[in-house]
Structure 1
Amino acid sequence: MCGIFCLLSLSLTQFESDKTVYEHLKRRGPNLSQNLTVRSTKPCYQCVFSAHVLHLRGLLTPQPVEDSRGNALVWNGEIFGGVPVMPEENDTAVVSQRLSSCSSSTEILSFLSTVRGPWGFIYYQKAGDYLWFGRDFLGRRSLLWKFDAEVKALTLTSVAAHCAGPAASAWQEVPAAGVYRIDLKAVSEAGCVTFEVYPWAYGENCPFYSCTQAILESVPSGCTAVLNRSGLALTSPVCPLNTSIPESLNQEEIHPNAHPCDQDLEHLPAGKERGEAVNRLIDVLSEAVRRRVQALPSQDNSAPSNDNARIAILFSGGIDSMILAALADHHIPAHQPIDLLNVAFKLQVPKKQKVSAKKPVKHKDKPTECKTDGTESLTSSPFDVPDRITGRAGLKELQQLNPERWWNFVEINVTKEELQKTRQERISHLVHPLDTVLDDSIGCAVWFAARGAGFITGDGDQKPFTSSAKVILTGIGADEQLAGYSRHRVRFKTSGHQGLIQELAMELARIPSRNLGRDDRVIGDHGKEARFPYLDEDVVSYLNSLPVWEKADLSLPRGVGEKLLLRLAARQLGLGQSAVLPKRAMQFGSRIAKMEDHRERASDKCTRLLTE
């Protein structure tokens, strides 16, 4: 992974770089930093590249990579398939070599279409004076853009910096709707920047991926975007969503308020088709996890210990993270520990009030423990939030699955004072340009979780612990594809399977702009890399190929019907009560949503993200 940056100027004037942006980029890539400037007088332009490398694979390869033909590449990505990369090779070097051999736009698009894995890139093609850039189909790596009309300069960067005033709204996320090419000769003559868009398509006979509106809404002020005149496109790495509608299936709610237990899954009718679907899901998801936990840097010759895990998991004890942990256990040697990162925000205890002796007042925000069956009881610790309770229960299940593994359950406790200080100093810049209450809550929770600084308990004693893992697995993508959110149940109830399919199509289309760029920026700030097994191309393609009723049955109660296919897979993997835990959003499970203004809505703009 890397922090990548490019400043394109239509003059040869020297610009002073933003020190805050540089520091954010450097934290993403602590192993090596390097700059490169490309200048041309006829046509007149200059490109200032900066790259900051987190070394995870093969030989440490300095970036920007400049080849013998004068081409320059900054690459923020991982190749997990589609393009051969030997264990000793670095994927940045492989990408540079392959792009250097391309002599046409068609060849560049063909190569990028074959890459499987997350990527964001900027590539200067000297022959023809072109600047290419873009993000992968699912937008798993961040890339932002901004245009300064006064000095005629375009900036592309992995991460920006929030500032006060009109400039605060200048940054936008580059839409993950295709790749973009700038004809530097043409823009030099015109004095303004135009992007040629090469969108994603689902094959030769299918229309372009619906991206025009998303691009137009995000194009920096002073720039224009046009579809390329040749009609060229990238081939989508995933198959289209199955939109089949069942001829007759019961769509009525059955005991919607019942508390599920793991026996509920055992009693479900498991036909041949569903059994095959469960097995196939386990296979493709297991392979996705394997690619992400084994493509790691070689370790030194020191003996393994409980303090040097190579893999960490954002861990709530819910089904998504439990399955990732169970599958990672299959592919990581038993003597190597796995870090389970569990974040909790301190529960706020209300001030004492005068209470009538006849009618005691029950405080709404009194610290409670949410048991795995959904009931509540008093707790002794202000950090015993719902995700902490289910996390501990999940740890016990994993210990039973593999008693030989050392599972580092890292209890990450955050106070209101630390949250407010860190938000202003760091997190507000990383979340930007997103700005809602939800972005604040998730961004802060993920930042503290990914930092991995907390406590572990061993032999009854608690000791400080900081995760050393440079790769963090996250369960994002499961809810979006398998109808895990409460809004999916509402849509199904009002519009049936047709409405649910439309909702799932929207979920996958907006996940780059809603989640992935933000999470990449936040996790990358610790010099760590986010990896998303549920968004592996093969996993997405397989789930897209299934009819919706095989993935979820929302006529069944919460904790069973949503993500049904995944719950059945969990039972087959040997998991217990965690297989039927209802969905609980991170902002509620970690209790960050309870820390400040309770009257806010998730979609409101968050004033706390504004810097001084």
Structure 2
Amino acid sequence: MCGIFCVLTLSSAPFEWDKTVYEHLRRRGPNSSQDVPVKGACYQCLFSAHVLHMRGFLTPQPIQDSAGNILLWNGEVFEGLPVKPGENDTAVVSQRLMSCNSSSEILALLSAIHGPWGFVYYQKAGEYLWFGRDYFGRRSLLWKFDAEVKALTLTSVGAHVSGHDQSNWQEVPAAGVYRIDLKAATEAGSVSFEIYPWDHAGNSISSCIEAILESVPSGCNAVMNQSGLKLTSLVCPLNMSIPESINETEIHTNSHFSGKELEELLASKEQMYEVDHLIAVLSDAVRRRVQALPLRVQDHSPLTPDDASVAVLFSGGIDSMILAALADRHIPAHQSIDLLNVAFKLQEPRKQNKSAKKPPKHKNKPTDSERDVADSRTFSPFDVPDRITGKAGLKELQNMNPERTWNFVEINISQEELQKMRLERISHLVHPLCTVLDDSIGCAVWFAARGTGYIMEDDSQRPFTSSAKVILTGIGADEQLAGYSRHRVRFKTSGHEGLIQELAMELGRISSRNLGRDDRVIADHGKEARFPYLDEDVVSYLNSLPVWKKADLSLPRGVGEKLLLRLTAKQLGLSKSAILPKRAMQFGSRIAKMEDTHEKASDKCTRLLTG
């Protein structure tokens, strides 16, 4: 993983790039930094890369081959191309690209890669500049065009400048890859992108191009490549079938179920083939992402429980619990796993007279495990819902494998620290996204990924900072398995057909709504986000299933949403977490309580815009 940067200028004027951007890029890649300039007849390019060493021998970037081609590669090859143990995948991709003699061969190579990537590639023969993101957009890539100096900039991360036009930076759409003919651009005095779209089953090329044109920087234009070439997706199309005779109306809508009742309801469901198959593909996805990782031990001294190579963004909810349980299968037992649990400080409730006290209104009734923890404690400003379920989840994991050291990292954030780091760092990383939801999730993920907090030892807190370079995150589970409340609303109003449309939309927009932001935020700590639920094989399997095998929203919360995943958790021995209802990170961590409670998630966030 790395921070990549390229600026193309069609003038001879020297380009001065933002030092803030450079610092963000350097933090993404602390192990190696290097710049390579290229001068054409009437254009110039600067390629800059900052590498986080993850695999094989450290390979500085930009990597320049014997033919003069230059590659900036921010990605991982998990499958699709042969990468031998000890080899660096950047070097492998560079060698394979050098052997490509046509655009179709380049597209075939990129189409074969399983894993996240963002890249910029200077193809010296023909003088072309290629760039783009993988099918899901799991790696960030931004662009902007400065018309005054005729400069196009491509970068993993930008910078927010207070008072400037927020649309200056935009995310490169993960709808395909792009090629610039540098000689043609020089002659025309303007930048034009040729689009090579992903072959999205069911989506027309015209709709794909329309989506791209909405994000093309002002002063540039984009056209479909004249050969009609496309990238071939590794993901099978979404199963759109509708059940013939399944109850389309939601039942149990206003009912509250105890944990025992939910367990019994879940136990009555049998989907053994689907559960076993999902465990197999998801376990493989986790294995590919947690094995053969470097540890932060430089002096060859024995490993300690503090030396983990993998961490999990951990709320104790079903998504993160399954990732932790599957990681346990593939990481050697003597290595620890860090569970990163973030909480934002609560205000202590005011004392009230018992006679004046009204019973609390629970939109979502507390689960048995939450109630057990709450009943046995006095008020703590960091006992947010995710902390409570996280501790309950820790006990389940310890019972599953008591030999493993599970570092449950309690990351406690005050409002003062939140405001300080949002201003200094997070507002730049979230940019160009700018909603209240982006602020809440971006801040929560940034502090969680930093991994600085406490772990409990002998009933006392010990300061602890996670050393893990890889962070597993559960994003993609809710989008594919109907985990959000809006999925219930859509099912109630439009039945299975509406639910399927909603799920198709969720996966289609995940690159622009979530993944670029999360990559920028996590990578700021010199760590790499990995998304097992968005592994190509996992998505293909879930896409192949009819929607009623994945979720049954006629069942109550805590069972119906993500039904297949709950059955999977139960099969893995995670009985308590299998029936926890979905709780969004901004509410579970209580960051939303720190800010204006009257805001809507889709509102522009003034805290980001004025940061």
TM-score, normalising length: structure 2: 0.95
1:446 corresponds in structure 2 to 445
Shift of 1:369: 8.8
Shift of 1:265: 4.8
Letter in 1 for 2:585: M
Shift of 1:535: 0.3
Relative to structure 1, is the Cα distance of residues 433 and 241 closer, same or farther in structure 2, using a 3 angstrom cutoff? same
CA offsets 1:59-85 (integer angstroms, 9 cap, x no match): 000100011111100000000101111
Stretch of structure 1 that moved more, 294-303 or 369-378: 369-378
1:393 corresponds in structure 2 to 392
**Counterparts of 1:474-553 in structure 2 under 5 Å?**
474-553=473-552
Q: Distance in 1 between matches of 2:149 and 2:266?
A: 65
Relative to structure 1, is the Cα distance of residues 70 and 278 closer, same or farther in structure 2, using a 3 angstrom cutoff? same
Aligned: 1:573 with 2:545: no
2:415 corresponds in structure 1 to 416
CA offsets 1:252-303 (integer angstroms, 9 cap, x no match): 323233335366455557787x211110000000000000000412665321
Unaligned runs of 5+ in 1: none
Q: Distance in 2 between matches of 1:607 and 1:207?
A: 37
Relative to structure 1, is the Cα distance of residues 79 and 243 closer, same or farther in structure 2, using a 3 angstrom cutoff? same
Q: Distance in 2 between matches of 1:558 and 1:206?
A: 33
Shift of 1:208: 3.9
2:124 corresponds in structure 1 to 126
Q: Distance in 2 between matches of 1:67 and 1:253?
A: 60
Q: Distance in 2 between matches of 1:464 and 1:362?
A: 38
Q: Distance in 1 between matches of 2:424 and 2:467?
A: 23
The answer to whether the 8 Å contact 1:370/1:385 transfers is no
Q: Distance in 1 between matches of 2:508 and 2:340?
A: 28
Shift of 1:125: 0.3
Relative to structure 1, is the Cα distance of residues 270 and 197 closer, same or farther in structure 2, using a 3 angstrom cutoff? farther
TM-score, normalising length: structure 1: 0.95
Matched position secondary structure for 1:201: coil
2:220 corresponds in structure 1 to 223
Relative to structure 1, is the Cα distance of residues 47 and 399 closer, same or farther in structure 2, using a 3 angstrom cutoff? same
2:456 corresponds in structure 1 to 457
Matched position secondary structure for 2:90: helix
2:208 corresponds in structure 1 to 211
Relative to structure 1, is the Cα distance of residues 260 and 227 closer, same or farther in structure 2, using a 3 angstrom cutoff? farther
Letter in 2 for 1:40: G
Matched position secondary structure for 2:223: strand
Letter in 2 for 1:225: A
Unaligned runs of 5+ in 2: none
Relative to structure 1, is the Cα distance of residues 362 and 279 closer, same or farther in structure 2, using a 3 angstrom cutoff? closer
Stretch of structure 1 that moved more, 161-170 or 56-65: 161-170
The answer to whether the 8 Å contact 2:33/2:48 transfers is yes
Q: Distance in 2 between matches of 1:15 and 1:206?
A: 39
Relative to structure 1, is the Cα distance of residues 384 and 371 closer, same or farther in structure 2, using a 3 angstrom cutoff? farther
Shift of 1:430: 0.2
Relative to structure 1, is the Cα distance of residues 268 and 594 closer, same or farther in structure 2, using a 3 angstrom cutoff? closer
2:246 corresponds in structure 1 to 249
Shift of 1:210: 4.3
1:98 corresponds in structure 2 to 96
1:380 corresponds in structure 2 to 379
Relative to structure 1, is the Cα distance of residues 374 and 538 closer, same or farther in structure 2, using a 3 angstrom cutoff? farther
The answer to whether the 8 Å contact 1:201/1:233 transfers is yes
Q: Distance in 1 between matches of 2:601 and 2:285?
A: 32
**Identity level (%):** 73
Letter in 1 for 2:275: V
**Counterparts of 1:166-315 in structure 2 under 5 Å?**
166-202=164-200, 207-208=204-205, 210-256=207-253, 257-259=255-257, 261=259, 264-265=262-263, 267-268=265-266, 274-297=271-294, 301-315=300-314
CA offsets 1:338-381 (integer angstroms, 9 cap, x no match): 000000000023677xx78963478999xx99763679767421
CA offsets 1:366-401 (integer angstroms, 9 cap, x no match): xx9976367976742100000000000000000000
Q: Distance in 2 between matches of 1:260 and 1:277?
A: 27
Matched position secondary structure for 1:502: helix
Q: Distance in 2 between matches of 1:185 and 1:56?
A: 36
Shift of 1:202: 4.6
Relative to structure 1, is the Cα distance of residues 123 and 374 closer, same or farther in structure 2, using a 3 angstrom cutoff? farther
CA offsets 1:131-152 (integer angstroms, 9 cap, x no match): 0000000000000000001110
CA offsets 1:438-489 (integer angstroms, 9 cap, x no match): 0000000000000000000012121100000000000000000000000001
| Pairs aligned (count) | 604
Q: Distance in 1 between matches of 2:158 and 2:81?
A: 31
The answer to whether the 8 Å contact 1:8/1:153 transfers is yes
Q: Distance in 2 between matches of 1:30 and 1:369?
A: 43
Letter in 1 for 2:215: S
Shift of 1:166: 3.5
Shift of 1:251: 2.2
CA offsets 1:31-72 (integer angstroms, 9 cap, x no match): 00000000012xx11110100000010000010001111110
**Counterparts of 1:552-571 in structure 2 under 5 Å?**
552-571=551-570
Matched position secondary structure for 1:253: coil
2:24 corresponds in structure 1 to 24
Matched position secondary structure for 1:249: coil
Relative to structure 1, is the Cα distance of residues 603 and 371 closer, same or farther in structure 2, using a 3 angstrom cutoff? farther
The answer to whether the 8 Å contact 2:7/2:151 transfers is yes
Relative to structure 1, is the Cα distance of residues 206 and 349 closer, same or farther in structure 2, using a 3 angstrom cutoff? closer
Matched position secondary structure for 2:259: coil
The answer to whether the 8 Å contact 2:400/2:573 transfers is yes
Alignment root-mean-square deviation, CA = 2.1
Matched position secondary structure for 2:3: strand
1:80 corresponds in structure 2 to 78
Shift of 1:581: 0.2
The answer to whether the 8 Å contact 2:294/2:309 transfers is no
